[in-house]
Amino acid sequence: MLAGSRLMVVNAPDDAVILRPLAPGEAIADVGAAVRDALRFPLVGEPLEALVRRGGRATVVIEPPSLPIPTAQNDPRRAAIRAVVDELERAGIPVQNQTLLVAGGLARRLADRDLEQLGIVSPEFARRFRGRVAIHDAEDPGLVEIGHSGRIPLRVHPALLDTDVIVVVTAAETVLHGGPAALLAASGREALRAAGAYSLLETSASQGWQLGVAIERELSRRVPLIGASLTFNHPRLAGAARGYPYEQEALERIVGSPLRRPFGLLPAWARDRIIRSVRRDLSLAAAYGGPPSVAHAEALLRGVEARSAPLDGQLDAIVIGIPRTTPFLPRERPNPLLAAYLALGLALRMWRDGFPLADGGTAIVLHRFHRRFSHPTQQPYRAFFQATTRFGRESVELLEAEREAADDPRAIDAYRGRRSCHPLLPFADWSACAPALGRLGAVIVAGCRDAVAARQLGFVPTQGIGTALEMAHGRAGGPPRVGFLLSPPYFPIRVTTDR
């Protein structure tokens, strides 16, 4: 299992459940043609050409491709963006009248040059695009209020209103990534902070989905709106890692490789560089067009069917490896809170039909949990840990600390100046862990090197995976049903709970 930049060989019990994603399915070769067809023949509503006013303006909404983790080198979203811009030009909107709106939510704001450097757009597209690029700022005083959802004001980037048509181009990863969530990611901090989800694959208990749909509804009353939503296959790895984690032969080949032990002796930065150099090919399985919520829901359902791993009955314990990467772009080394978010807020929210662990179950997180915060980009996370020391880690206890962070002018200035993430992001990440924490009995950090950091979050530090499995055995009162999540990438889990 991958833990940080280390490959850990874990002796699983004979009755252990190995959760691995389905192998990548058949791919669509021409991404651009698939996106053009989706916009010309939408699931519901008028096609793009009927929504466009010749000589008018268009806003193309995209998201930084933070999922899947790790980043793929040939992301189909780049071809999809190029196809949408070309299709708008063919319909009568010149490129210079098009605005590319990068909706990054509370994550660190990117610079224009980052779009090419981080692979969001292709170098060829970056050279020829003559339109405007707008990087969303959740603290921009120029955000326009378009309504309310309960007591939450819906304030959006002005480029979503100062236009003649909006086209949302995203991938269907979760209910909070893609589709109407991209419009939410171009809103104010009030809506972004309130955007939660019990499961990332079910819309019914997701306030983030409801807020995104509310913004979509309000915008569609003012501006023609259409979306293109993509369904991806799982990425394929090249080289010595080909077939991982889908094939048992790949696991045996990696474990038996004579290079595995020398690899473990390398310094962390060298191991990390080798892992990042492994080529990952991401392919398109389907593309859907229509209102963003409709297209996204259909694409997400298709993705769950094509990529999910079945789980017959709930587990007593699950082992989750944490890669040496943050869940946001640009990729960095994760601090303990981001490691917790990857395990509890991402991997353990990628379920459908039922939570994968029985109530009171145990999550074992493979991570060293060093309290290292990249400066200045992760400074708000350092402030979060300082707040837990003063106030505690419960949501009610952290309310005062959250208010202080939201009103900190230096932190807000660092966010707006692209030096760090928004000061509310650590609180949002911790809230994302709450659904899993409410069901679990314990979170054990295996291989922990900073016990204070683990205990600050309410976790149990242990030296290694063996000790963690013994503790899970004791908590279950007998031999537990243990699952091992082979990742990354993190993948959907379909749970049958009538065990």
SS3 per-residue string spanning 90-101: HCCCCHHHEEEE
Looking at residues 13-18, what average pLDDT do you find?
87
Residue pair 185/104 in contact (Cβ under 8 Å)? The answer is yes
> How many other β-carbons are positioned within 10 Å of the β-carbon of residue 22?
16
Dihedral sign of CA atoms 131, 137, 143, 149 in order: positive
How many domains does one find in the chain?
2
Per-residue pLDDT, 499: 47
Alpha carbons 197 and 352: distance in angstroms, whole number: 12
For residues 374 and 355, membership in a common domain is answered with yes
Among 210, 232, 254, residue at a domain's last position: 232
- What is the bridge-based pairing of β-strands 357-366 and 315-321? parallel
**Residue bearing the bigger pLDDT, 345 or 22:** 345
Cβ neighbours of residue 405 under 8 Å, at least 6 residues apart?
380, 383, 384, 387, 411, 423, 424, 426, 427
Q: Kindly indicate the confidence band of residue 486, based on its pLDDT and cuts at 50, 70 and 90.
A: confident
How does residue 22 score in pLDDT terms, banded at 50, 70 and 90?
confident
**Which of 199, 232, 265 is at the close of a domain?**
232
In this prediction, residue 162 has a pLDDT band, given cuts at 50, 70 and 90, of very high
- Ramachandran region, residue 378 (left: φ > 0; alpha: ψ -120 to 50; beta: rest): alpha
Q: How many Cα atoms within 13 Å fall on the side-chain side of residue 199?
A: 19
| pLDDT value at 243 more than 70 | yes
- Residue 487: left if φ>0, alpha if ψ -120 to 50, beta else—which one? beta
Instruction: Tell me the two tokens of residue 101.
Output: 């709106």
* Co-location of 7 and 42 in the same domain: no
**Cα(197)–Cα(428) distance, rounded to whole angstroms?**
11
Between 281 and 147, where is the model more confident? 147
What six digits make up the tokens of 446? 């295996």
Specify if 239 maps to a domain. Answer: no
Q: What is the DSSP string of 359-409?
A: EEEEEEEE--------TTTTHHHHHHHHHHHHH-SSTTTTHHHHHHHHT-H
Domain for residue 487, yes or no? yes
List the CATH number of the domain containing 59.
3.40.50.11440
- If asked whether residues 14 and 57 sit together in one domain, one would say no
**126, 296, 109: which is closest to 185 by C-alpha?**
109
Q: For residue range 103-121, what is the model confidence (pLDDT) as tens digits? A: 999 999 999 889 998 889 9
35 and 127 part of one domain:
yes
How do residues 47-103 score in pLDDT, each as one tens digit?
999 999 999 999 999 999 999 988 887 899 999 999 999 999 999 999 999 999 999
Distance (Å, rounded) from C-alpha 384 to C-alpha 397?
A: 12
- 109 and 131 housed in the same domain: yes
Phi/psi for 482 (5° steps) reads -105, 135
Strands (E), 46-139: 58-62, 98-102, 132-135
Q: Which of 237, 242, 232 is nearest to 279 (CA)?
A: 237
Considering the domain boundaries, does residue 427 fall inside one?
yes
CB 167 within 8 A of CB 60: yes
Amino acid identity at 105 = G
pLDDT digits (tens, 9 = 90+) for 317-343: 999 999 989 999 989 999 999 999 999
Identify the weakest region by mean pLDDT among 256-260, 333-337, 358-362, 386-390.
Answer: 256-260
**Does the pLDDT value for residue 269 go beyond 90?**
no
Crossing angle for the helix pair 292-307 and 207-220, nearest 10 degrees?
A: 140
Q: Is position 361 within any domain?
A: yes
Do 85 and 15 share a structural domain?
no
Closest CA to 445 of 1, 111, 3: 3
Q: How far apart are CA 155 and CA 168, in angstroms?
A: 18
Same domain, 203 and 324: no
Is 303 part of any domain? no
276 assigned to some structural domain:
no
Is residue 54 domain-shared with residue 156, that is, in the same domain?
Answer: yes
203/175 same-domain check: yes
Claim to verify: residue 222 and residue 328 sit in the same structural domain:
no
Token pair of 397, please?
């206890």
Cβ atoms of 131 and 57 within 8 Å: the answer is: no
Q: What percent of the chain is modeled with pLDDT above 70?
A: 100
In this predicted structure, the answer to whether residue 483 has a pLDDT above a threshold of 90 is yes
Determine how β-strand 284-290 pairs with β-strand 315-321: unpaired
In a domain, 277, yes or no: no
In a domain, 283, yes or no: no
Asked if residue 174 and residue 317 are part of one domain, the reply reads: no
The per-residue pLDDT for 3 is 82
Indicate the pLDDT class of residue 311, thresholds 50, 70 and 90.
very high
* Buried/exposed code over 53-87 (b: 16+ C-beta within 10 A; e: otherwise): eeebbbbbbbbbbbbbbbbbeebbbbbbbbbbbeb
Q: What is the dihedral of CA 412, 413, 414, 419, to 10 degrees?
A: 120
Assess contact for 488 and 323: CB atoms under 8 A. Answer: yes
Q: What is the pLDDT of residue 459?
A: 96
- Domain harbouring 357, CATH code: 3.90.226.30
Task: Return left, alpha or beta for 444; rule: phi > 0 is left, psi -120 to 50 is alpha, else beta.
Answer: beta
- Summarised one tens digit per residue, pLDDT across range 32-56 is 999 999 999 999 999 999 999 999 9
> What's the mean pLDDT in 192-214?
95
**Segment among 74-83, 339-348, 481-490 with least mean pLDDT:** 481-490
For residue 239, the one-letter residue type is G
Whether the predicted pLDDT of 304 surpasses 50: yes
Tokens encoding 187: 């809103």
CA–CA gap between residue 472 and residue 192 (Å, rounded):
36
Q: Please report the pLDDT score of residue 164 as a whole number.
A: 97
d(CA 385, CA 390): 9
Q: List pLDDT tens digits, range 385-443.
A: 998 887 778 777 889 999 999 999 999 999 999 999 999 999 999 999 999 999 999 99
DSSP string for 36-60: HHHHHS-SSS--HHHHPPTT--EEE
**170 and 98 in a common domain:** yes
Q: Is the pLDDT of residue 209 over 50?
A: yes
What is the domain range of residue 49?
A: 31-232
Domain final residue, candidates 200, 232, 264: 232
